[in-house]
Structures are given as C-alpha cells and as structure tokens.
Structure 1
C-alpha cells in the first residue's frame, strides 16, 4: 500500500522534529488539573504505551483498548496498549512492545519502531508515560488479554482526525465535578492522558 508507506515516511520525519508537547496536551486538559498541582516525586514510576499503525482496505488503522472495570484510577477507560517498566526491560521502548504483545497479541518481531512522542506525567496514578510509535505492514490478528482488555477498538486514523468528535462532559473525579475534554468515537469517550497523546499525534500529523 503505497499511501501507507508514504504516511509512515512522513510521520518518521515529523517525529524527529521538535515536538508540540505541552501545547498539544493543554487542549485536552481537564479543569481540575491546574488546581490539584500533582508533581513527579521519588515514588513516580515509569511506563510506556504503543501507538501501532497498520494498513487495511486502503485505510490507516491503530488499535485502542477498553480497560475492564476495576477498583483503580484507570478503570473502564480507553487507552493505548502499554504498562509499567519492569527491571527486565532494556528500555521504555521494550516496555511498550512487551506490554502490547501481552495485551493484544501482536508479534514483536514484525513491529517497526519509528519514534516517540513527549513523555507525560499522570498525577492521579503517579506515572510518567512515554508514547512509542511504530507500525506493522499488515493487519494483525489481535488477541486480547482477558484480564487487561475488555475490548479492542480497531480505529481508523481518518475517524480519529475528525474535529467533530471533540467535545467535553462533566465527570466526577476524586469527588469533584470536573469539565473534561474528550474525543468521542465509536460510542466511547477518550479522555485524560490518552486524549493528550492523541492531541499531540494529530498536531504532529498536521
């Protein structure tokens, strides 16, 4: 697919230019974050997620996952596959690849990593998260980990790029009513750190 390879070439170049970072993140920042004043500390943990592009039927796709409901800050949220850095990982890129393999069953040996975006700090869970970007030259056969993944959303980049999916809603976060910007796609709302990553990705693609 010639257009897919052209897309990957342009994205690779863009990822090695200065990144928009905070400018893009601010667009999807909720109304409480300026007041809560979370900051990294010596207990802050490192993690990574993977943004995986692949071609299918002349479209460019990337997978998102719906986390299961559980007693935690990221319960039932839409996210990119990923997780925490383990001592056995050589790098955060390896963390992203390992976790993506574990959560959605992609073959690590077939993945081409092309770059990273701006690391984010997630205050409520005290994590720093590095978004890693890469691609597969084919549509993978996804296998979701039943403990980690409720649903895999195979998402068209074209749909994610539609400005009409941006909105906001009122949510209760830590017993506080908060106005939260989100992307709404396939009847799911994407907010928080994942929305900030998408915002930066769309800035880069522009």
Structure 2
C-alpha cells in the first residue's frame, strides 16, 4: 500500500483543507448527493480522476464530465459513504480502506430549474491504490488529468456547450477533447482556489 502523506502536493492540499470551514447546505428540500475528488501522486505531479457520463436521455447530466458520485441512499451511513459507494458502482474501484480523506469542499447546489433540486458535497480523497476501471453502463469513460494541466490558465477558456436542448456560454477546462464545465467546473475551481493555487 502506497503512503501518500509524504507527497508534497498531497500534503499541501491536506494542510490547506484543514483550515477550511466548508459551507454546509441547510435547505431541507434539496436531495443530498456526494462526489469523490480522487487524487493520486504521479512523480512530482498529482492526477485528478474524472468520469464521462454515458449518453442517456433520462440523465440530466448525460454525456458530461463529472467526478464519481451520486445521490445519497437510505442505507448510506453518511455522505462520505455515498461518495465511496458510488465510485465503486460507477467505475468498479473500491476505495474503502485504501484512501486518506484530505478534507471537504463547500456544498453546492444545481443552478438551473431544469436540473433536479440537489446539493452536492465534495470529498477530497488521496487514493493509496487505484486498480483497473470496470465501468458501469452509466459511465462512458474514466480518465486522469494532471493538476499541472488544470492549473495552467491557457487550458481554460469560454466555450459554448449544449445540454438539455439549451446552449450555454461557460467557463471550461478543455482536456483532450473533453469539456469540464458546469457543476464539475465549480467544484474543481473550489479545489484549485482553496487547496492548490488560484488560477
């Protein structure tokens, strides 16, 4: 089992998140969900795990880049368990017992009326080991993006995207033909500004 505690970037993220007091959702009408921001050291850099959701008509986030995660179920003891369970279900990687919890980011709400009324709680996790992906039918792809790429300003731009029959002009990170935008971009921006570096 790999010990991530000595990796300088992982340790810096841990230290910065330790001083952050997350904004907690207080809206009882919104359904709870959670995502796992999974980090792994790679040389001097750190990679961040993303998924691309499969194209599915009934999924409001169909085809979008996301973090592993989903809605809280009654059997989940807490939202961290929700994030870990959903990661296992979506990409076939069971992190339970094989991760360090580095901290939490602020709860975020969906921002448009065409999306379900949910709040998302992001957990930042350093994985000890991540095996081969075994994707569920809901997931088209799982991939890693280096933090050094995500913190490079030229990789971010305004771009037009289409979703739910609408077009949006958004801030996005473009990685190998994939567009990181929407709720995922908002969560990622939190991570970069709070724990890594302002872009």
State whether TM-score is above 0.5. yes
CA distance in 1, matches of 2:184, 2:20: 20
Residue 46 (structure 2) aligns with = 60
- The answer to whether structure 1 residue 160 and structure 2 residue 153 are counterparts is no
Residue 186 (structure 1) aligns with = 176
Residue 120 (structure 1) aligns with = 108
CA distance in 1, matches of 2:47, 2:164: 34
Q: Do the aligned residues in 2 keep the contact of 1:4 with 1:60 (CA within 8 Å)?
A: no
CA distance in 1, matches of 2:22, 2:77: 27
| SS of equivalent to 1:109 | coil
| SS of equivalent to 2:188 | helix
Residue 81 (structure 2) aligns with = 94
**Cα distance, 1:3–1:88 mapped onto 2, change above 3 Å:** closer
- Structure whose residues are more often helix by fraction: 1
- The answer to whether structure 1 residue 8 and structure 2 residue 10 are counterparts is yes
**Cα distance, 1:2–1:144 mapped onto 2, change above 3 Å:** closer
CA distance in 2, matches of 1:132, 1:3: 17
- TM-score computed with the length of structure 1 as normaliser: 0.81
**Cα distance, 1:128–1:141 mapped onto 2, change above 3 Å:** same
| SS of equivalent to 1:150 | strand
CA distance in 2, matches of 1:148, 1:175: 20
CA distance in 1, matches of 2:6, 2:47: 10
Q: Do the aligned residues in 2 keep the contact of 1:20 with 1:203 (CA within 8 Å)?
A: no
CA distance in 2, matches of 1:3, 1:59: 14
CA distance in 1, matches of 2:4, 2:167: 47
CA distance in 1, matches of 2:162, 2:28: 25
Counting matched residue pairs gives 186
| Gapped regions of structure 2 (runs ≥ 5) | none
- TM-score computed with the length of structure 2 as normaliser: 0.84
Residue 133 (structure 1) aligns with = 124
Give 1:138-153 correspondences, 5 Å limit: 138=129, 140-153=130-143
TM-aligned CA deviation for residue 8 of structure 1: 2.0
Residue 46 (structure 1) aligns with = 32
**Cα distance, 1:176–1:90 mapped onto 2, change above 3 Å:** same
CA distance in 2, matches of 1:60, 1:4: 13
- The answer to whether structure 1 residue 111 and structure 2 residue 95 are counterparts is no
Q: Do the aligned residues in 2 keep the contact of 1:105 with 1:143 (CA within 8 Å)?
A: yes
* Superposed CA RMSD: 2.3
| Gapped regions of structure 1 (runs ≥ 5) | 22-39
